[in-house]
Amino acid sequence: MPISLVITRIIRIVKVLYVTQEMFPYLPASEIATLTRQLPQAVQERGREIRTFMPRFGCVNERRNQLHEVIRLSGMNLIIDGSDHQLIIKVASIPSARMQVYFIDNTEYFSRRHVLVDENGAEFADNDDRAIFFARGVLETVKKLRWSPDIVHCHGWMSAVVPLYVKKAFHEDPFFAQAKVVYSLYADAYNQPFDGRVAEKMRMPGILPEDVAAVAGGGSFQNLSKLAIQYADGVIQASEQVDPELVAFAKNSQKLFLPYQSPENYVLSYDEFYDKVMG
């Protein structure tokens, strides 16, 4: 009787980290909030392993959404512009999607009731500090989770510092050494540029002045987006109408680029794009 040899091929599950400035239902529906609610679930259902992070803005209803603090992940202090800021991590579940969402929280940065602008529509003067804290908070928490992403997919300008940190400050860390970064471009421009010290405030071990040259003259939306593109491995045009200068910059930078995809087919296109970025 012939002996059958059964060869089991072990397929490694690709891990995707989603970093977004907003997500439905925790914030009102918008282009970013809706896409980042649907995309992680769809990608997970296609066999990927996912984690999702967003800021815990003060308008997020903790009781209704059943957020609770994760004590083992909280308590770290991050130094932003020379001052210590406590990192608090909270989590909530979307049972229908079998998804957990992690929230980056800090009393000074995220307790206010508005998201990016005040009650008069004026952009918060410390939005640059908030973005830096958010980016560092996500990456430090992922390390504490001992979870190593293959793809880091960033959504919204508040996530734009993440590519720099993954590629420069965390590039030798075993949890991020092999990570590829995808940055999605949206029509989410802000009007008030960050002050001229934003490049200095982004600095941390591993980041030299030339690494943040794109924002050395100030953090306009275009300059911040170019910084994100510079350190991304792939760029997606997520909004149908995006600043043509940024699209041209991405293409001229020889980045893998995915043009705008309609709501009917973006999940498949994004999923296939991850494979291309990973090579």
Do 99 and 93 contact (CB within 8 A), yes or no?
yes
Burial class (CB in 10 A: 0-12, 13-18, 19+), 205: exposed
Within 10 A of 174 (CB to CB), how many other CB atoms are there?
10
* Residue 219 DSSP code: B
Q: Which domains does the chain have, with CATH numbers?
A: 15-278 (3.40.50.2000)
pLDDT of amino acid 96: 87
Q: Which amino acid does the sequence have at 170?
A: F
Band (218; pLDDT cuts 50, 70, 90): confident
Residue 3 has pLDDT above 80, yes or no: no
Q: What is the mean pLDDT of residues 93-101?
A: 92
pLDDT of amino acid 197: 95
Residue 6 has pLDDT above 80, yes or no: no
pLDDT of amino acid 161: 98
Cα–Cα separations (whole angstroms), residue 158 to 52, 72, 96, 228, 272:
14, 25, 27, 10, 25
Strands ordered across the beta sheet of 151-155: 68-69, 88-94, 99-105, 49-55, 15-20, 151-155, 180-185, 234-237, 256-258
pLDDT of amino acid 187: 97
pLDDT of amino acid 217: 83
Residue 9 has pLDDT above 50, yes or no: no
pLDDT of amino acid 11: 65
Residue 190 has pLDDT above 90, yes or no: yes
For residue range 39-59, list pLDDT tens digits in order. Answer: 999 999 999 999 999 999 999
**Nearby residues of 70 by Cβ (< 8 Å), 6 or more positions away:** 89, 90, 91, 102
Residue 155 has pLDDT above 90, yes or no: yes
pLDDT of amino acid 12: 79
Q: How far apart are CA 157 and CA 18, in angstroms?
A: 14
What is the model's pTM?
A: 0.95
* Residue 111 DSSP code: -
Do 129 and 83 contact (CB within 8 A), yes or no?
no
**Considering the chain, what is the average pLDDT of its residues?**
94
Q: What is the mean pLDDT of residues 70-95?
A: 95
pLDDT of amino acid 117: 96
pLDDT of amino acid 44: 97
Closest CA to 134 of 89, 171, 190, 191: 89
What does DSSP say about strands 77-80 and 83-86: parallel, antiparallel, or unpaired? antiparallel
Residue 5 has pLDDT above 60, yes or no: no
